[in-house]
Amino acid sequence: MKKFKELAKNVINIEQQAIIELLQYIDDSFEHACQLMFYCRGRVIVIGMGKSGHIGGKIAATLASTGTPAFFVHPGEASHGDLGMITKDDVVLTISNSGETSEVLAIIPVIKRIGAKLISMTGNTSSTLAKLADTHICIKVTTEACPLGLAPTSSTTATLVMGDALAVALLNARGFTADDFALSHPGGSLGKRLLLRLSDIMHQGERLPIVTENALIKDALVEMSLKGLGMTAVVDDSNQLVGLFTDGDLRRILDLKIDIHQDSIATVMIKSPTVAQADMLAAQALHIMEDKKINGLIIVNEKQIPIGAMNMHDLLSSGVL
């Protein structure tokens, strides 16, 4: 028996070749399919049976999350009422490697009667489904990775990749942005990285550590201990930020001849510290902190007046990290 690693590499090589062969099918029919979906006034309905159905569900989900409203309908359920989900303003994307899947073909006359546009994605350009469609996308593969040539392997991979090609082409054509993407992904760490802003997590009001530049170092240390952020903002008489003092700075001055009871914070503070704005994405703030190798940020308004503060622990608690 061949070694497992050798068999696995063979599968990957076969499927890789199948993907490369898809390039020849990015043609006028693909362009037509994109136009139908781009100008669709309704939804893109993806239909497929068996393994094609599983792939179709993923394609529908990818379309929906990248700016093309879409959902999956099982052909069996469609024949028992779910065809009512389809309207004349929709575009139906049917998937069948053979192009002869009976459950899919059975509902084509109704789709035609409704008036929805029909795109077929098959591995046989001469199939019934290909001929009935308004436009056909070929996903033919030379060889299945299954040594028996029975289990859908290369063909399902090719279908998935072609679906991604459609979704990304449409995403770009719509001018879909990261902010648009965030609106459909509000949950989990991904949504938080795309939606959460510093205004949502910053410490403000009485929780904001702040002292004047005339304050003694010991007073700044008391403020830092009370607010628990490991730092304090330092402001002038106009409340504008002029400096920052952190736990790290305290450790650095221990070897200096500094009298915390007599010297002012202005003598040891960091001047012109890195700051952020309240509308900045938390993920962007994380990038700045990692790049600058700092543990916290003061958030200022347009007049450079501190309005908030946050540290790495806040990002961790919010789920951005």
- Long-range contacts at 127-131 (CB < 8 A, ≥ 24 apart): 127/96, 127/98, 127/99, 127/100, 128/99, 128/100, 129/94, 129/96, 129/99, 129/100, 129/101, 129/104, 129/105, 130/99
> 309 or 180: which carries more pLDDT confidence?
309
- Tell me the pLDDT band of 193, cut-offs 50, 70 and 90: low
pLDDT digits (tens, 9 = 90+) for 276-295: 999 998 888 999 999 999 99
Same domain, 99 and 233: no
Dihedral pair phi/psi, residue 246, rounded to 5°:
-125, 170
Determine the structural domain holding residue 257 and report its residue range. Answer: 198-318
Same domain, 209 and 314: yes
Q: What is the CATH number of the domain that holds 43?
A: 3.40.50.10490
Question: Smallest Cα–Cα separation from 56: which of 138, 185, 162?
Answer: 162
pLDDT of residue 181: 72
pLDDT of residue 177: 76
pLDDT of residue 191: 64
Q: Specify if 183 maps to a domain.
A: no
Mean pLDDT, the chain, whole residue set? 92
Same domain, 299 and 228: yes
pLDDT of residue 264: 93
Number of domains the chain is built from: 2
Q: Specify if 191 maps to a domain.
A: no
pLDDT of residue 318: 81
- Tell me the pLDDT band of 100, cut-offs 50, 70 and 90: very high
Residue after which a domain boundary falls, among 176, 210, 235: 176
Structure token digits, residue 167: 């979704």
Q: Specify if 184 maps to a domain.
A: no
pLDDT of residue 46: 98
Residue found by looking up tokens 């003061």 in the block: 298
Same domain, 252 and 132: no
Same domain, 246 and 103: no
Q: Average pLDDT of 22-48?
A: 97
Residue after which a domain boundary falls, among 145, 176, 207: 176
Q: Average pLDDT of 254-261?
A: 82
